[in-house]
Amino acid sequence: MGNPLCYQLNVPAGAQRLARGGGEEDWQSFLRDYWGPVCRFALRWGAGNVEEAEDAAAVTFQVLWQNQLLVRWVSNRSARLRTLLCAVVRNVLSNRSRSLANQRRTLRELAAGLEDELRTSTKEPDAFYAAWVKDLVQRSVESLATEYYRSSKGDYVRVLYGRLCQRLKIAEVAAALEIKPSDVDNYFRHARDRLADKLRDLVRRQTERYSLMRILPPSGTRSARSWRNMEDWKTRSAGRLTCSTPPRRSKRGPPA
């Protein structure tokens, strides 16, 4: 072996009893006898600290148990027990070292790939803003609908749905809801403005939360840029936005 620690390991009779199917008491004795030496050997062989050495020792005894190495050692004692233990510890540490090296290499490659992508990317991908805007719109519409229904203003929601989602004209919405065209126009303006306010508040809260801002930032700051980016995306893809949840029915029925 070349390591003086291994030559200090003696072979107790309990090890042979373990190999022949010893009980829990034999295993406890074996652990007490060899836990300390195995940990110290792991420290000398390459474990970075006591915690890593204890982890290696735990894996060593697990390997001995699961692979019945003591049984095989007793049936073919071509080497001493200390040689078996030292060999298992070395293999455990070697496997762990390779695993850590692979993880570090994977992380380096991932970081390099991300850096390359960031360097070559000149603008935010539309896919991100598509998902982000749809989520914000959904949450804002649900909040607005709850607000209006609680105030007995369900027609505001129905007008907004009819005008935005069904692309109905003012006269068509007025006829369907049996209200005046001027009311349709007023309801729509109010609902549209409230929806814009809610969207703006959501954008502000998200950007402030993740950029550690305390107040509504002025023009040119991150929140203002995020809002402008979202407005740009909505302008470019307005035709792709769909309304999936119609408003609740009233006694007069929704716009047809």
pLDDT tens, residue by residue, 100-118 = 888 888 888 777 777 666 6
Between the CA of residue 38 and those of 58, 90, 159, 165, what are the distances in Å?
9, 10, 77, 71
Q: Above 80 in pLDDT, residue 45? A: yes
Q: What CATH number is given to the structural domain containing 38?
A: 1.10.1740
Q: Which domain holds residue 207?
A: 126-240
Contact 37, 8 (CB under 8 A): yes
d(CA 40, CA 47): 9
* Mean pLDDT for all residues in the chain: 75
Per-residue pLDDT of 200-242, as tens digits, reads 998 888 877 766 444 444 555 555 555 565 555 554 544 444 4
In a shared domain, residues 108 and 151: no
Contact 202, 138 (CB under 8 A): no
Please give the model's pTM, rounded to 2 decimal places.
0.44
In a shared domain, residues 74 and 105: yes
In a shared domain, residues 138 and 199: yes
